[in-house]
Chain A
């Protein structure tokens, strides 16, 4: 059974608007969460992370929110830009050399 779920396979957003990508997890032992971005024909690249001791982390246009009680995290991108069009993977870790990934959400930002 998947421990990290991204239930929306795709999302389309107008340029300049906010993009919100969601992720749910089941394992309460996860203590570190990351978002990766993947362009076609490239490997995933790290985007932003958050520790379980925080509920928000911001880096420029990107903000990750963590709701531990709901076992839910989200990535907000504002304003969205066409170059943000990519597949976004949510990942979670409980240490011990393993990240659990979601299946990804394909974001399309429409100019």
Chain B
């Protein structure tokens, strides 16, 4: 496989469920990101991991819990979500620990479309 892969592609969960989103990158990058895209809103950065350490969390609610066990894998653990958390969750990676600057670009996965009932 190449690029950034995310599973599952679709997820429906109740407000009391616990689920996890998975992301894997095969590009040798050292930074990984979670973005959220809600309808008619811009992509919002949720978390950044650089060299497996979290460097940004942007005041995301604690019901979202990221985990980065190594530079190739990223998880987003979900628990007691709200209906307004329904959105497309995108994982991305880049090559530099400082994130997207002059010669660095984000490479995105296809996303997980999450519906919270």
Q: Which residues of A contact B (CB under 8 A)?
A: 2, 4, 32, 34, 36, 41-46, 49, 51, 89, 91, 93, 95-104
Contacts and interface: CB of A to CB of B under 8 A. Distances in A.
A35 to B, nearest CB: 11
Q: Which of B40, B45, B101, B109 gathers the greatest number of chain A CB atoms within 10 Å? A: B101
Given A43-B90, A43-B110, 6 more contacts: A46-B106, A97-B31, A97-B55, A98-B99, A103-B40, A104-B42
Interface in B69-117: 90, 92, 98-102, 105-111
Contacts of A4: 42
Closest 6 CB pairs of A and B: A43-B108, A97-B99, A101-B43, A101-B42, A46-B105, A97-B48
25 contacts: A4-B42, A32-B100, A32-B101, A34-B100, A34-B105, A36-B108, A41-B9, A42-B110, A43-B4, A43-B108, A44-B108, A45-B108, A46-B107, A89-B42, A91-B100, A93-B99, A93-B101, A97-B31, A97-B33, A97-B55, A98-B48, A99-B45, A103-B40, A103-B42, A104-B42
A4 B41 CA distance: 11
Nearest to A90: B42
A34 B55 CA distance: 22
Nearest to A53: B102
